[in-house]
């Protein structure tokens, strides 16, 4: 297991990898990307973890080599619309969120997994976003 002593050491590298997305550094140890509709994706660099925030989802990655590779894969899967964020709500209340395993929502599976909940599938390209209102069966 290889570990980085400090995630903030990776910030400049990540900034370079994200160049085509025009990253901004509005806060020390953070990067912000803004899509065409103004939605933001944040990346926070802390001493022993890095965190991606997008929509009502976030994920922490620890300071280990394989976690950094996973972070990069997840980040670019989101930015290239190969994965999307699944958020589910009971009424107006957030009930949970996760990163999808694929690029195309399966409506039947989502409705079965989140019975009685509103389901929002959020892509970086928000023209692909889908919302399913899923009343109790």
Q: Report pLDDT for 40.
A: 96
pTM for this structure? 0.89
Distance of CA 57 to the CA centre of its chain: 6
Q: Would you say residue 90 lies in a domain? A: yes
Residue 12 and residue 68 in one domain = yes
Q: Quote the number of domains for the chain.
A: 2
Are 53 and 117 found together in one domain? no
Q: What is the mean pLDDT of the chain?
A: 90
| pLDDT higher than 60, residue 10 | yes
Backbone angles phi, psi at 34, to 5 degrees: -125, 125
Range of the domain at 114: 85-132
Q: How many angstroms separate the CA atoms of 2 and 10, rounded?
A: 14
| Partners of residue 104 on adjacent β-strands | none
What tokens does 10 get? 């990776």
Residues 100 and 50 in one domain: no
């Amino acid at each position: 297991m290889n570990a980085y002593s400090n995630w903030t050491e990776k910030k400049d590298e990540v900034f370079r990898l994200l160049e085509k997305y025009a990253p901004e550094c509005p806060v020390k140890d953070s990067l912000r990307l803004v899509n065409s509709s103004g939605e933001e994706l944040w990346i926070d660099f802390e001493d022993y973890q890095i965190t991606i925030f997008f929509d009502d989802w976030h994920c922490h990655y620890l300071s280990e080599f394989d976690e950094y590779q996973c972070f990069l894969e997840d980040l670019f899967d989101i930015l290239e619309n190969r994965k999307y964020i699944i958020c589910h709500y009971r009424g107006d209340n957030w009930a949970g969120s996760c990163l999808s395993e694929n690029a195309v929502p399966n409506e039947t599976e989502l409705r079965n997994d989140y019975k009685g909940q509103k389901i929002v599938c959020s892509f970086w390209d928000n023209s692909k976003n889908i919302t399913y209102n899923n009343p109790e069966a």
